[in-house]
Structure 1
């Protein structure tokens, strides 16, 4: 197993860095539910990657994200998870608890911030979210951005 330091966390820098994507400029997006427990990111799966803070000042955090779509260029669109309850500061969808959080805390998905990640920019595949909870997120993305 590779030991990661802050400098070599997958998704933090270089060509495979996780970046914020403008959801209205990504073109046509077709969300899908297609998890395959193979170590690669697939829509419907929660994976770990470096997520830059919104200030884009070089800081960030290795955190779980839900992959929601595959892009033609080979990248993926994802939304970040948080175990902190958020009220009013952004738009969050409650997804409950799952194996992505070792302590079993409830989680929320931020649907108002879209991330673009690369296959080589993730640390590990955590699990597949069940279809019912994925569809809650998918429906909110459809309502907010018109994604199919």
Structure 2
């Protein structure tokens, strides 16, 4: 009789541990899905996120080897497009979500170039036409800014699986190599 009670108690404890483990696993998977942008509803308002801590530097100051390596492995890689929440319109305006193309990494920070659909950049030498793509939900023609690199902590980005096509990335890379000393 004592063995059956002990056996029942052990089974209950085991089920309780499994339940705790399952909940922890579910929370971990939900967090990972959120970080990768897999759980974001399409065309929905950007979720309230922390304003990104952005450090803009002259492109030549961050020159490094440049390669195309988008990989949805949990870290943002060169060739991916990610989104950051930034204050761009002054203190009385709400923050905006902006797309950047990843061109490198620096420890736990990503290095990215700002993407803009503003056609005023058409004639500006420091902007390069990258066309329309997943980085603009209205499918407008966009430009990427070449003379400033944004350094952003990876924790402040949102990913949703957008990748810039290799040929467009190579056009960006060629300009960075030719005009800003990247390798």
- Please indicate the TM-score interval, normalised by the length of the shorter structure: 0.7 to 0.9
- 1:39 Cα deviation from its structure 2 partner: 4.8
Q: Which residue of 2 aligns with 1:83?
A: 117
| Post-superposition offset of 1:87 | 4.2
1:121 Cα deviation from its structure 2 partner:
1.1
Tell me the C-alpha RMSD between the 2 structures: 2.7
2:79 aligns to what? 44
User: Which one of the candidate residues 47, 59, 62 is aligned to 1:4?
Assistant: 47
Is the 8 Å Cα contact of residues 94 and 107 (structure 1) preserved in structure 2?
A: yes
1:71-126 superposed Cα distances (whole Å, 9 cap, x missing partner): 2x232211000111114456110011112222211111010121002211102234
- The separation in 1 between residues aligned to 2:124 and 2:165, in whole angstroms, is 27
Structure having the larger proportion of residues in helix: 2
Q: Structure 2 residue aligned with 1:66, among 85, 101, 115?
A: 101
Runs of 4+ in 1 over 4 A off after TM superposition: 55-60, 87-90
Query: Residue 41 of structure 1 contacts residue 125 of structure 1 at CA under 8 Å; is this kept in 2?
Result: no
2:30 corresponding residue in structure 1: none
Structure (1/2) with the larger strand percentage? 1
Instruction: Verify the 8 A CA contact 2:60 2:182 in the aligned structure 1.
Output: no
1:23 paired with 2:59, answer yes
Greater relative contact order: 1 or 2 (C-alpha under 8 angstroms, separation 6 or more)? 1
| Count of equivalent residues | 138
Structure 1 match to 2:168: 133
Which runs of 5 or more structure 1 residues have no equivalent in the other structure? none
Note if 1:108 corresponds to 2:143: yes
